[in-house]
Structure 1
Amino acid sequence: MSRKIKWGIVGLGKIAGKFAEGLKHVENAQLYAVASRDLAKAEEFSEKHNSEIAYGSYEQLMEDPEVEVIYVATPHSLHERISIQCLNHGKAVLCEKPFAINLEQAKKMINLAREKDIFLMEAMWTMFLPHFQHVLELVNSGKYGKVKKIKADFGFKAEFDASKRLFNKSLGGGSLLDIGIYPVFLAYAILGYPEKIEASSHFAETGVDTSSEIRFSYSSQAEAELYSTLAEKTPTTGEVQLEKAVIKINSRFHEPSSLTVITDGKEEHIKFENIGNGYNYEAAHVTRMLLEHKTESDKMDFTKTLDLMKLLDDIREKTGLVY
């Protein structure tokens, strides 16, 4: 596994910069090419992050025979179209979350990847972080009994601006798809698909949700209380209440963080030595999958992505949010 996988990035916003920084810490990976519809922006990004080539169109990057895998970091509404274009050019794809705008789009993307036998994965970076993997191990070990309740929130104050992506419905804006996906994912990763979903949202004048309150109920009697908002800064923590312990995922729970495990009134603080900014873990996973000639992740597989997309669709149906 000594050769380097050559990466391309399309859509050069804030998240792409974080991913490019993380990629620098991945053995067997190289940022080879970047693309923006603005060539000057691509050249600036390329210089900052040391890619070999900068392109002024996504198609030019897709047509480059040296590019093996493309990280799609465009606005949500373009994920389906750009990912399908990449797959049709024979490129493996890591598509930023949310994977698509709805389940129908996600199915099209996955069906094409299966048809062409090309690797495709949703960039749910939290799944690959050491602290999150440790939470799953603690829960699945059964040492603390069954899960009774999960609580998670994600909120920050965003000044309303109809011209910005966050408040633009045509770009898939709003709190649910942008940040609410993280609390939803936490509950799903631990408890699976809920038996019952309750949800309500507040809306901006542009039609996107500024906040969403969600409750999942399970046949095991467990429940999840989840919240996302663009109207205020929240603790952005996660909490897993089990029969014999409480696992607190400290702020901010979706990125590299620490844990506090409370048993019998005693607190155990668990810290993790993270490499890079955290985006390197998902990039390293995809790089390994490609070197092993896999076409589907063994951690963030298609079933998880389809379930997560259906969950978001079901929540939106409850709140009346339509894209």
Structure 2
Amino acid sequence: MIEYNIGIMGAGYIAGVIAKVLKDMNGFCPYAIASRDEEKAKKFAEEYEIEKAYGSYEAMLEDPEVELVYIATVNSNHVELAKKCIDAGKPVFVEKPISYNAKTAAELLKYATEKGVFCGEAMWLRYNPLMNLVVDNLRKNIIGDVRSITANIGYNLGGRERLLKPELAGGALLDIGVYPITAVFMLMGGGPVNVVAEPIITTTGVDAYSSIYMRYPQGRSAYITVSMTTSLDKRCIIYGTHGRIEIDNVNNPTLVTVYGSDGKSRGEMKPADDAKTGYEYEFKAARKAAIAGNQETEELSIKDTIEIYRFIDAIRYTWNLPFPLPEEPEKKPMTVENLNPNTKNA
């Protein structure tokens, strides 16, 4: 099989995970790694047996053998690097979040469309077959009408300095909260009509923990808990009028259990026997879209991508936590009126 050459920007943790995944996939090759630190790139290339190592992102983009670029850098420079890829005519797949706010994400995706170059978000939950199977079964009313959803995600990420820095678009909501939010949007068929969100803010000015209540029409609701200071169970439970569905891991489902109204198990859903890590599906989708000359994958539209970040923006701005980055509003001075903004609806 002809291998599809992937160039990776950024030599951090997630880049290493993806390099391993690509090496284990038929038809893919982690061909090149680029970092602003050439020694770091060379060390990464040696560890993951990657053919090319570059000490600048621009140098890698000049390599004609690179067929798709995967961006795995800090959240704050995803758009800048993606535009460089687009200008070089390279299809690009950006690790979530595609950007730090909806406005810059929309501008990026519009720019890619105008240039006729594929640019997509590597939000692996959207591509997970098991998650999409749950969505399909909900449409068939497997548990009746969906009434409420709970979803948690939490890790002890205190050692990851980038998450504590507003200038790098850090914080739990944008980095990991995007998973349960995406899950709820997928399962409910879109966003809520109202939201109330309560954060715990770090001394550096980013959210470390939050509780998010989402109200939908006809009395439906969802409740999300997000933490980057403590490990949570990461489960997602969907309650219907005739039973419930339990998903073991909200960002990468590996076991789904269906219960009837009597509380007894009605069966389980598991990944296919040939499933690997879950990341393989998003890269197959990105390759398919890029080769076909499409501007979005079948699983994740431009519209759905932007919708998620509009929702996250609304929460952050209600918390008065804009990032000190372009196209962000100014931080409001603390007054009696906005001393406790999180009590308002986003």
Letter in 1 for 2:219: Q
State the match for 2:10 in structure 1. Answer: 11
- Counting matched residue pairs gives 319
Q: Report Cα offsets for 1:204-262 as digits up to 9, x if no partner.
A: 00001011111111113211101101222111111111221211011x32124211111
Q: Is the 8 A contact 2:285 2:298 kept in 1?
A: no
Question: Does the CA contact (< 8 Å) of 1:99 and 1:106 recur in 2?
Answer: yes
**Corresponding residue for residue 257 of structure 1:** 254
Equivalent residue, structure 2, for 1:218: 216
Matched, 1:59 2:55: no
2:43 paired residue number:
44
Give the conservation status (yes or no) of the 8 Å contact 1:200–1:318. Answer: no
Cα shift readout 1:5-31 (whole Å, capped 9, x = no counterpart): 221100111111111122123332222
Instruction: Give runs of aligned pairs for residues 188-227 of structure 1, distance below 5 A.
Output: 188-191=185-188, 192-227=190-225
Tell me the CA shift for residue 274 of structure 1: 5.4
CA distances 1:296-322 after superposition (whole Å, capped 9, x unpaired): 111111011100110110111222221
TM-superposed deviation, 1:140 = 1.9
CA contact (8 A) 1:22 1:278 kept: no
On the 8 A contact 2:116/2:293 being kept in 1, the answer is: no
1:107 corresponds to:
106
1:283 Cα deviation after fit: 0.9
CA RMSD of aligned residues (A): 1.6
Superposition map of 1:54-93 within 5 A: 54-93=53-92
- Note the C-alpha offset of 1:41: 1.5
Is residue 33–residue 55 contact of structure 1 (8 Å, CA) maintained in 2?
Answer: yes
The answer to which of 79-88 and 46-55 deviates more is: 46-55
Q: Percent identity over the alignment?
A: 33
* Greater RCO structure (CA 8 Å; 6+ sep): 1
Which residue of 2 is the match for residue 244 of structure 1? 242
Q: Where in structure 1 are there 5+ consecutive unaligned residues?
A: none
Q: Does 1:314 align with 2:311?
A: no
Maintained 8 Å contact 1:28/1:287: no
Separation of aligned partners in 2, 1:245 and 1:288: 37
Distance 2:148 2:50 in 1: 45
**Distance across 1 between alignment mates of 2:318 and 2:181:** 15
| TM-score (norm. length: structure 2) | 0.88
Return the alpha-carbon distance in structure 1 between the equivalents of residues 150 and 234 of structure 2: 10
Deviations 1:149-188 (A, max 9, x none): 11101112233x6x81111111111110111111111111
Aligned residue identity for 1:307: E
Secondary structure at the residue paired with 1:277? coil
Q: For residue 167 of structure 1, what is the aligned residue in structure 2? A: 164
| Equivalent position of 2:337 in the other structure | none
Output the CA distance in 2 between the equivalents of 1:34 and 1:220.
Answer: 50
State how far apart, in whole Å, the 2-side matches of 1:106 and 1:41 are: 29
The TM-score normalised by the length of structure 1 is 0.94
Between the aligned partners of 1:265 and 1:142, the Cα distance in structure 2 is 17
Tell me by how many angstroms 1:94 deviates: 0.6
Structure 2 unpaired stretches of 5+: 324-346
Question: Tell me, what secondary structure is at the counterpart of 2:32?
Answer: strand
Residues 3, 295 of structure 1: alpha-carbon distance in 2 compared, 3 angstrom cutoff: farther
Tell me if structure 2 keeps the 8 A contact 1:32–1:52: yes
Task: Answer whether contact 2:183 2:250 (CA < 8 A) is retained.
Answer: no
State how 1:79-158 maps to structure 2 within 5 Å: 79-158=78-157
User: CA–CA distance in 1 between the matches of 2:85 and 2:294?
Assistant: 17
Aligned residue for 2:217, secondary structure, equals coil
On the 8 A contact 1:256/1:277 being kept in 2, the answer is no
